Amino acid sequence: MHRIHRELQHLAEWLAILEGKSSRPRFVVSSMFLEQCFRQLTTDEREQFFFITGAEVDGVGVLDQKVEFAHERRTVMGVTGNQSAAHRMLIRLEQFRHRRLGHFHSHPGKGADATHPSGTDEAFQRRLETAGDIPRSPRSSAATASCGSSV
């Protein structure tokens, strides 16, 4: 029953978007860019993370550029960014008046659970949205992708 309710909500959101009645953030991304990101995210067995940016045209975020920065630590369990590198990355985005439109990261592991955002991911997304830098999304995975193997 919960799944049917969720699917109906999703359908209603799409209808509102199609009718131009939604203030929900909208994004465009190419399958080629997604494939490139997937390859980088799954290069090794350690978690990988990068932000995504791009132009915004008529309220639609074009997800077409990876924004990478040095990491302090990358393990199977998580990734920690280098604060100085992250600060430089934010300054560079500001110079070009770009926003972080989303972030992609990997979940090393197998099974369906490896493909869903974790509690840590959802809390991180809420912090980014609260800061106002990343577009708000009713479903935290709108511009957030987690990838793991579904095998």
Q: Is 40 near Zn ion (CB under 5 A)? A: no
Q: How far is the CB of 16 from Zn ion (least distance, A)?
A: 28
- SS3 state at 55: coil
Cβ proximity to Zn ion: between 48 and 53 the closer is 48
Question: Among 31-39, 69-77, 83-91, 143-151, which window interacts with Zn ion (CB under 5 A)?
Answer: 143-151
According to DSSP, residue 113 is labeled: G
Cβ proximity to Zn ion: between 92 and 127 the closer is 127
Q: Is 118 near Zn ion (CB under 5 A)? A: yes
Question: Among 60-68, 95-103, 111-119, 133-141, which window interacts with Zn ion (CB under 5 A)?
Answer: 111-119
Alpha helices in 55-118 (DSSP H): 83-95
Query: CB–CB of 47/105 below 8 Å?
Result: yes
- The beta strand positions in the chain, using DSSP E, are 26-29, 49-53, 56-57, 60-63, 65-67, 71-74, 79-81, 102-110, 144-149
Residues 6+ away with beta carbon under 8 Å from 139: 10
With CB under 5 A as the contact rule, the residue among 64, 121, 122, 133 that binds Zn ion is 121
Cβ proximity to Zn ion: between 89 and 107 the closer is 107
Q: How far is the CB of 57 from Zn ion (least distance, A)?
A: 29
